[in-house]
Amino acid sequence: MLISKTLRCKVFNPTEKKSQLLNHEYSNFQIYVRTGRDFGIYSASKATFDFRYKRKARRKKQPLPLNHHFSKFKITNHKLTPYWFRIPVHGKRGGIWLPIKPHEEIDFTWEIREAKLFKRKKDFWIYITIRKEVCLKTSYSSVLALDVGEKVIAAAVLSSVRKPIFLGREVRGIRRHHAWLRKRLQERGLFKKLKEMRGKEKRRVELVLHEVSKEIVELAERNNSVIVLGDLKGIRRDDRGKRFNRIVNSFPFNKLSFFIEYKAHLEGIAVVKMKEHYTSKTCSRCGEEGKRIKQGLFKCPNCKYQANADYNGAMNILKRSWKHIFQDGAVAFSPELPMTEQTRAEAHNI
């Protein structure tokens, strides 16, 4: 399967002449976006924009598209930076070579596709899309089931161990802190300060999501596990009260799911999505409907079973996966593996 990612590259210390050419090309493109008037733009960039947006005038600034047929990468032993990128500009034959600093090392086994030029304040950034063909494994020895929640961002259970693993507890604290901080700043009328901290919560949460998704993929790789993830599609349409809706609508469910899928596919690990309906209400031991006494505690009135609610949800997702994703003996595991006293105690720990 094909996977793609984007390299964020900062244009680093261009010469004055190159800066003028770059500013001229970018400014003329923004005029063309708003008015349709061409004061000098590279023809391929204009054609790419026309093809995508059908020449519709737009008010907001648009990134300058760079066709991969006319752009080029190269590696040098230059002291400034080893990475250079050629951008085609109007009136300059052969374009201009710009020194760039990517946010990560560039693997040239990936195929370079399209690129876009952004301007942020005085700096230029080039976002380069690259893609690669990867082969997913078809045989696994265990299953790693994940339940995504608000209190614990991911509860993981391995079919071979059944020991609960709770990841990303700090996300809830980050979100609550920033909600409290926004409220206090609004009450005091400190709107300038409120604007300055905009995006900080998102960056902090995304950092945790990256760490959690990396840990999940490493766990699956160590145990040769296929990853089974609860599918939360449609959860935002459910009306469960003002507080719940506010939490759900601002929670990065899709982002965590994307990070897990992307990083798993890079390692050749398959990710299967299962419907998550009623997994939080169903008893993972007897299958009857139970009650979530509080955010972190599940109790079953039928068999008297009680456990951490997120762990119970992950176990239900694990059991559902047995019926749907394993065929022809491709995955071998022991669904009836008994729980040890230590594991049982950890599962019941709230």
Distance CA 35, CA 37 (A): 5
Lowest pLDDT segment from 12-21, 51-60, 140-149: 51-60
Distance CA 350, CA 338 (A): 21
CB count in 10 Å sphere of residue 206: 14
Distance CA 105, CA 162 (A): 38
Which of 293, 271, 269 is CA-nearest to residue 281? 293
On whether the CB atoms of residues 208 and 171 are closer than 8 A, the answer is yes
Residues 161, 128 within the same domain: no
Of 108, 133, 158, the residue that ends a domain is 133
68: which 2 tokens?
């991969």
Residues 129, 240 within the same domain: no
CA–CA distances in Å: residue 132 to residues 45, 107, 115: 25, 10, 16
Residues 234, 303 within the same domain: yes
Distance CA 281, CA 300 (A): 9
pLDDT reading at 37 higher than 80: yes
pLDDT reading at 58 higher than 70: no
On whether the CB atoms of residues 68 and 113 are closer than 8 A, the answer is yes
Structural domain count, the chain: 2
Kindly tell me the burial class for residue 189, based on how many C-beta atoms sit within 10 Å of its own C-beta (0-12, 13-18, 19 or more).
Answer: exposed
Residues 107, 231 within the same domain: no
Residues 314, 290 within the same domain: yes
Q: What is the pTM of this model?
A: 0.75
On whether the CB atoms of residues 303 and 288 are closer than 8 A, the answer is yes
Residues 148, 269 within the same domain: yes
CB count in 10 Å sphere of residue 329: 7
pLDDT reading at 324 higher than 70: no
pLDDT reading at 111 higher than 50: yes
